[in-house]
Amino acid sequence: MLAIAIAISVATNCGGDEAVEAPRASAPDTATIRPTVRTETPVPTATLNVAGCHSPRRADERYRVVAQDEGAQDYVGAVEAALAKAIEHAGSVYGWTPLEPICAHLFSHDDSFVQGLQQVAALSPNFAAGIGDRGGINGVDSHTGNDAIFLNLSAVRSVPFIATHEYPHIVQGYVEHGAAPIWFLEGISEWEAGRLQGDPNPTWISSFVEIAHAGGEPELSRLVNGHQWLELNEPVPAYFKVRLALMYLERIAGPEAAPSLLRDENIVDPLVDFEPAFRILTGMTVDEFDDQLLPFAEELIAGSG
């Protein structure tokens, strides 16, 4: 059973290619950059270390970090430290650690990132180009078949933060039983990155309050599948909101609430099964919970003032 579960997880977690029906856990991320779709696909020019993860592993090797261009070399140590911490933390909270090393490929330019998404992650040229200015994506290293993280260092404010955000998406692919909504999965990733790495944007809660008062944040109930996330014109408010949602969930339902929802075997269809399980834990529908997030943010600001 274990081998079957892993094979399915890898297949559904492979890089957010548009050919995949529901790339829920593979949505690209950035905390700082708006997505734009390029009209031209860059011609691959850099010499990448595409097989950088394809050498014998050490017995206890949990991750391997590969600098794919010269500018990325300086960040290898920081990503190794972030992954070591994230892997240890997820092992205790979600009960999963990788059997094969996670490959983290680092790129210091949009163009080498797009090239790497094609040559290492095996994404289509158009899809890769469309997410070329995002900060990161999880997927599969096509040379080893292992789970992988692809980071565009030019597009992120904090490299350890984004590396720590991407790792839980890999864990989610193995731990969840079918179909948690994307707001919940992205919220877990943002919440874990924030608590393990601190925050690259310390005023994010105030920013959220400002955006929410202007009506600029999306409803959680409209963020169910990965396509809805990818279609956001303004992803930053959504990242703020889903992180706040996970903080609030922990406040009202305790630290075990998110891991237990993620592992809930009864959640097979995100549109049907998540809500009843969520309601048992919180006493609220997702919409009622959503309505509490702005007051919660204001309470946090008042409490820290």
Are the C-beta atoms of 243 and 201 separated by less than 8 Å?
no
Q: Which residues inside 53-92 make contact with Zn ion, applying CB under 5 A?
A: none
Query: Nearer Cβ to Zn ion, position 68 or 189?
Result: 189
CB of 191 to Zn ion, least distance (A): 11
CB of 233 to Zn ion, least distance (A): 17
CB of 56 to Zn ion, least distance (A): 31
Out of 164, 189, 197, 225, name the contact with Zn ion by CB under 5 A.
189
Query: Nearer Cβ to Zn ion, position 111 or 192?
Result: 192
Q: In this chain, which stretch among 50-58, 117-125, 182-190, 284-292 interacts with Zn ion, using CB under 5 A?
A: 182-190
Query: Nearer Cβ to Zn ion, position 48 or 224?
Result: 224
Binding of Zn ion by 26 (CB under 5 A): no
CB of 295 to Zn ion, least distance (A): 26
Q: In this chain, which stretch among 22-30, 254-262, 265-273, 288-296 interacts with Zn ion, using CB under 5 A?
A: 22-30
For the chain, give the secondary structure using H, E and C: CHHHHHHHHHHHCCCCCCCCCCCHHHCCECCCCCCCCCCCCCCCCCCCCCCCCCCCCCCCCCEEEEECCHHHHHHHHHHHHHHHHHHHHHHHHCCCCCCCCEEEEEECCHHHHHHHHHHCCCCCHHHHHHCCCCCEEEEECCCCCCEEEEEEHHHCCCHHHHHHHHHHHHHHHHHCCCCCCHHHHHHHHHHHHHHHHCCCCCCHHHHHHHHHHCCCCCCHHHCCCHHHHHCCCCHHHHHHHHHHHHHHHHHHHCCCHHHHHHHCCCCCCCCCCHHHHHHHHHCCCHHHHHHCHHHHHHHHHHHHC
CB of 299 to Zn ion, least distance (A): 26
Query: Nearer Cβ to Zn ion, position 129 or 185?
Result: 185
Query: Nearer Cβ to Zn ion, position 48 or 152?
Result: 152
Angle between helices 182-197 and 235-253 (to 10 degrees): 80
CB of 66 to Zn ion, least distance (A): 21
Sorted by sequence, the CB contacts under 8 Å of residue 50 that are 6+ apart come out as: 116, 119, 120, 143
Q: Is 215 left (phi over 0), alpha (psi -120 to 50) or beta?
A: left
Q: How many residues bind Zn ion (CB under 5 A)?
A: 3
Binding of Zn ion by 110 (CB under 5 A): no
Binding of Zn ion by 111 (CB under 5 A): no
The residue with its CB nearest to Zn ion is 29
Residue 16 and residue 198: Cα distance in Å, rounded?
27
Binding of Zn ion by 192 (CB under 5 A): no
Query: Nearer Cβ to Zn ion, position 238 or 300?
Result: 238
Q: Is 47 left (phi over 0), alpha (psi -120 to 50) or beta?
A: beta
Q: In this chain, which stretch among 44-52, 189-197, 210-218, 295-303 interacts with Zn ion, using CB under 5 A?
A: 189-197
Q: In this chain, which stretch among 107-115, 141-149, 178-186, 232-240 interacts with Zn ion, using CB under 5 A?
A: 178-186
Out of 13, 14, 26, 29, name the contact with Zn ion by CB under 5 A.
29
Q: In this chain, which stretch among 4-12, 29-37, 62-70, 274-282 interacts with Zn ion, using CB under 5 A?
A: 29-37
CB of 136 to Zn ion, least distance (A): 8
Q: Could you list the residues that contact Zn ion (CB under 5 A)?
A: 29, 186, 189
